[in-house]
Amino acid sequence: MLLANSSPTSVERDSFLWREMKEGNEAAFSEIFDTYSNLLFQYGSTIINDKELVKDCVQELFIVIWTNKDTLSVARSIKYYLFFSLRRLVLKKAGKRRKFFSLSSFNHSSYIIEAQDHSIVMKEININHQLIIAMALEKLPARQKEIIFLKFYQELKNEEIQIIMNLNNQVVRNTLCKALHSLRLQMKDWAKNGYHQLLITLFYFLA
Amino acid sequence: MKNYKEYTENDFVMDADFLEWVKHPSGESEVFWTSFIKENPQKKEEVYNAKTLLLSMVFKQNLLQSEKEVMWQEIRTAMRKQKEGKLVFMKTGRTSFSKMSMYVVAALLLGCVLFLSFYYFTEKKPEHLVTTQFAEIKKIILPDSSSIILNANSNIKYSNQWDKVSDREVWIDGEAFFSVRHTKTNQRFIVHTNEADIEVLGTEFNVMEREEKIKVSLNSGSVKISVYDNANPVFLIPGEILELNAKKIQKGAGKVEDISVWKENKLVFDDTPLSEILKQLRYIYGWEFATVPNDILNEKLTGGVETNDEKVLLRTLERALRIQITKQGNTIHISRLQPVL
């Protein structure tokens, strides 16, 4: 049940790499890092808007995995396991930091439209509308951003999100609804925004 | 079978099969949804909107390749340390050293340390110099694993040999963003500029020294700035900016994250007049602005631009300000765009 719905080949590849890594194969470990570091960074950035902290956490996660590779077992999928572990690390570190700094570094976050493979589909879509969604997404509270990332961008199932975010099923559904609702509100806000700002941002995103 | 005829836009968005079709369309699902829309034209808009929404949810806050490499290097270092640690452990576990041989090893090690430190203190410390060209950004990892991102048209100098006790020192000319690691021994980290020293323990901040003007902005941690010929040091807290211009010190709050956004190859403007923007472009690209209509210099811009593609950058400015920019070599001419009608 709890398998990330990536294609079977990538799941097979993942578990192959994971087994190799557990045997001490550094090349396999490097493959895993290559495949998942950016994705993890993206995920971490939805939880906290602090680039350096998220980078530290991703790095630490991989070191911990290597250190404990003999005792690790992976049920379900690697992606799911990595997301789950990263989340705990980020929250732990963010909590610690909050004690020391009242105001830590806020990096400029950006959720930018990406040219995807769905080029035919994308042509149908009004680019302005798409931009507005991207900008609205940026303005969402962290938890809602996170759940949108997991549900619609990573296409995880509610059951998986439930465990990763440590929420019960009802709360997952409510948060999703709330996130979609505030996304729509934000979109309205953005649509109202001045032409000038939208234009320059548009070019920035297209650049 | 789900009753899609009763679905609202939200229901479609939340439906797993719908998502599967939108993200990974297959022949089968294409046929299903096309005929669904044909049979239920009143649902067309809901389907279309839901699809747009899902396809537009894209997160693209990516790691730079260089950042990824730095991370991997650090992971590798940790792996290597573990390996060594393990080997040593295994050896001592199997063969027991006699006390005598332990003394020999200790003596040899002591000898090595003495020899190396003699070398270290007598030899002249060589210096590292890192410079950037126009439109170039470099990332530097210092021996203490602090990092510096050096903006275009800048240079930074530091000693080749760092130890675990004495001050860490760098000399800057231009603009750089510093991420300073805090060390266990509380070593100071000092950035020297022409007019002031900036002293920190572990923190993130941006230093700009251009044309006698110095600007320090603090992202996190704390820094102490000692302006030369001035007895009282200035302390900054996160979010504060210090400007030093002709010995005059000015301190205020501002969007410090926007100031250092150049390190991601971006510039962010917040009600910034064009005159200020052109100045920044001059530092980054070395352009000279030959003709600029006076009346547009005060026009203000809000938003962000990417700086790694100058064509796109210039086009963005053209569109936003309704101006025409022509570039010959490093010289730039700006003219008002005449209305077509």
Q: B279: domain CATH number?
A: 3.55.50.30
B45 and B66 share a domain? yes
- Residues B252, B225 share a domain: yes
Beta strand B234-236 pairing with B223-227: antiparallel
CA-based max dimension of chain A? 58
B86 and B137 housed in the same domain:
no
Residue B216 near residue B206, CB atoms below 8 Å: yes
Residues B315, B207, single domain; the answer is no
CA–CA dist A17, A159 (Å, integer)? 25
| Final residue belonging to a domain, choices B206, B238, B259 | B259
Distance CA B78, CA A142 (A): 31
In a domain, B197, yes or no: yes
- For the segment B7-51, what is each residue's pLDDT rounded down to a tens digit? 988 889 888 889 989 888 888 888 899 899 999 989 888 898 888
Q: Does B74 touch chain A (CB under 8 A)?
A: yes
Tally of domains within chain B: 3
Residue whose pair of structure tokens reads 């003999």 in the numeric block: A70
CA B262 to chain centre: 7
**Boundary residue ending a domain (B241, B259, B277):** B259
> What pLDDT was estimated at residue A100?
39
Nearest to residue B71, comparing CAs of B133, B123, B145, B8? B145
Search chain A and give the residue with CA nearest B206.
A105
B219 and B319 part of one domain: no
Instruction: State the residue for tokens 């820094």.
Output: B223
Q: What is the pTM of this model?
A: 0.47
Residue B200 belongs to a domain with what CATH number? 2.60.120.1440
Residue A57 has pLDDT above 90, yes or no: yes
Determine the residue among B75, B219, B259, B300 to mutate to test chain A binding: the one whose Cβ has the most chain A Cβ atoms within 10 Å.
B75
In a domain, B133, yes or no: yes
Contacts of A26 in chain B (CB under 8 A): 79
For residue B183, the one-letter residue type is T
Closest Cα in chain A, distance from residue B9 (Å)? 11
Contacts of A62 in chain B (CB under 8 A): 71, 75
Most confident range (mean pLDDT) of A35-39, A103-107, B124-128, B329-333 is A35-39
- Give the residue, A127 or B155, on which the prediction is more confident: B155
Q: Could you tell me which of B135, B224, B120, B139 has the C-alpha nearest to residue B178?
A: B139
ipTM: 0.73
Residue B341 domain-assigned (yes or no): no
Ramachandran area for residue B329 (φ above 0: left; ψ -120 to 50: alpha; else beta): left
Query: Which contacts (CB < 8 Å, 24+ apart) does range A5-13 have?
Result: A5/A155, A5/A156, A5/A157, A5/B20, A6/A77, A6/A79, A11/A77
Residue range B53-58: mean pLDDT, rounded: 79
* B323 within some domain: yes
Are B249 and B145 part of one and the same domain?
Answer: yes
Instruction: Identify the pLDDT of residue A191.
Output: 62
Per cent of chain A over pLDDT 70 is: 67
From residue B221, alpha-carbon distances to A104, B141, B209, B236 in Å are 8, 19, 21, 9
The answer to whether B201 faces chain A, any CB pair under 8 Å, is no
Residue B100 falls inside a structural domain? yes
* Assigned domain for B141 exists: yes
Q: Are residues B137 and B251 in the same domain?
A: yes
Does any CB of chain A come closer than 8 Å to the CB of residue B304?
A: yes
Would you give the DSSP letter of residue B338?
P
- B75–chain A Cβ distance below 8 A for any pair: yes
Strands B196-200 and B331-336: unpaired
What digits encode the pLDDT tens for the residues A129-164?
A: 666 777 778 778 888 889 998 998 888 888 889 888
Share of residues in chain A with pLDDT > 90 (%): 14
Comparing A26-30, A140-144, B85-89, which segment has the lowest mean pLDDT? B85-89
Two tokens, residue B50: 């839901």
Let me know whether B152 and B204 are in one domain.
Answer: yes
Q: Distance between CA atoms of B272 and B26, rounded to whole angstroms? A: 48
Do residues A139 and A110 lie in contact, with contact meaning Cβ atoms separated by under 8 Å? no
Residue that is last in its domain, among B259, B279, B308: B259
Residue entry with tokens 């500029």: B193
Task: Please enumerate in sequence order all residues whose Cβ is within 8 A of that of A200, keeping only pairs 6 or more positions apart, or say none.
Answer: B301, B302, B303, B304, B305, B316, B319, B320
Cross-chain CB nearest to A45 (options B56, B61, B72):
B61
Q: Give the phi and the psi of residue B201 in degrees, each rounded to 5.
A: -105, -60
Residue B63 inside a domain? The answer is yes
> A75 vs chain B: nearest CA distance in angstroms?
23
pLDDT at A201: 53
Residues whose CB falls within 8 Å of the CB of residue A192, separated by 6 or more in sequence, listed in order: none
Same-domain check for residues B240 and B225: yes
Size (chain B), residues? 341
Same domain, B281 and B201: no
Can you read off the two tokens belonging to residue B315?
């086009």
Residue B213 lies in a domain: yes
B301-314 b/e (C-beta count within 10 Å ≥ 16 → b):
bebbbbbeebebbb
- Residue pairs between chains A and B whose CB atoms are closer than 8 Å: 163
Q: How many CA atoms lie within 13 A of A26 on its CB side?
A: 9
Do B97 and B83 fall into the same domain?
A: yes
Could you tell me if B254 and B136 lie in one domain? Answer: yes
B86 or B189, which is more confident: B189
Residue B72 at interface with chain A, using a CB cutoff of 8 Å: yes
Which residue of chain A has the CA closest to B217? A105
Closest-approach residue (CA) in chain A for B301 = A197
pLDDT > 70: percent of chain B: 87
**For residue B223, what are the CA distances in angstroms to B191, B206, B249?**
10, 11, 15
Q: Which residue from B256, B263, B312 is spatially nearest to B284, judged by alpha carbons?
A: B263
Range of the domain at B229: 128-259
Name the minimum distance, in Å, from the CA of B266 to any CA of chain A. Answer: 9
Mean pLDDT along residues B119-147: 76
Q: What is the DSSP string of chain A?
A: -----S-HHHHHHHHHHHHHHHTT-HHHHHHHHHHHHHHHHHHHHHH-S-HHHHHHHHHHHHHHHHHTTTT----S-HHHHHHHHHHHHHHHHHHHHHHH-SS-------------S-HHHHHHS-HHHHHHHHHHHHHS-HHHHHHHIIIIIS---HHHHHHHTT--HHHHHHHHHHHHHHHHHHHHHHHHS-HHHHHHHHHHHH-
User: How far apart (Å, rounded) are the C-alpha atoms in residues B19 and A79?
Assistant: 19
Contact (CB, 8 A) for B206 and B183 = no
Average pLDDT over residues B176-203: 84
Q: Cα–Cα distance between B119 and B52 in angstroms, integer?
A: 67
Nearest to B52 among A125, A157, A180 (CB): A125
